[in-house]
Amino acid sequence: MNRREVLTITGAAALSIGANRILGANDRVRMAIVGLGGRGSNHLSEYLELAGADVAGLCDVNQAALEKSQATIARKQRPKAKEYGDMRKVFEDKDIDAVSIATPNHWHALAAIWAMQAGKDAYCEKPASHNPFESQQMIAAARKYSRMCQIGSQSRSMPHKMEAMQLLKDGVLGKIYLAKGL
């Protein structure tokens, strides 16, 4: 099992309704996915493969994205998810245990904070926030509301990137004296 698989599984477990309740073997996490574009579609596919997750909600302002995601759920022969056009309605829904946030970047922090205020655990795409202040507010909300909040870091766990990093560490490219990031 690679790091990405472990993070996916443990991330779902961490979103397991929080610290106030320990999940039993028969419990399931009822997930809502907020933002159904490229990354959100990937989140949907990943959660549909997790045995302990039910995709119970889909949220996007784009009706076509909702329809496409419902079709993905139907192809996997899973129950239809509730649909929302406003993420605040997801957070109000007592039937949703956790949210997976794949909105445009500038919404990540606020969506995660709103989710935690509503008693939901949150998995949030990178970047976590627009600036350090927003990140500090996310941490404060997680602590205040006793919620889990995990930020995605898949780029670090992709097999080809892990292999490249190992090659660097092993000195295959020689001594690295300059690196530039764009």
Q: Which domains does the chain have, with CATH numbers?
A: 3-169 (3.40.50.720)
Interval 106-148: pLDDT, tens: 999 999 999 999 999 999 998 889 899 999 999 999 999 999 9
Low-confidence residues of the chain: pLDDT under 70:
1-26, 154
What confidence score (pLDDT) does residue 26 get? Answer: 53
Longest Cα pair distance anywhere in the chain, in angstroms? 56
DSSP three-state, residue 118:
coil
DSSP element (H, E) containing 112:
helix 108-117
What confidence score (pLDDT) does residue 157 get? Answer: 72
What confidence score (pLDDT) does residue 85 get? Answer: 96
Give the residue from 76, 81, 113 showing the smallest Cα distance to 95: 81
Both tokens assigned to 29: 């996490």
**In contact, 58 and 66? CB cutoff 8 Å:** yes
CA dist 42 to 100, 133, 154, 163, Å?
Answer: 11, 28, 12, 23
What confidence score (pLDDT) does residue 13 get? Answer: 47
What confidence score (pLDDT) does residue 11 get? Answer: 56
Name the pTM for this structure: 0.74
* Separation CA 148–CA 2 (nearest Å): 23
* Separation CA 36–CA 59 (nearest Å): 7
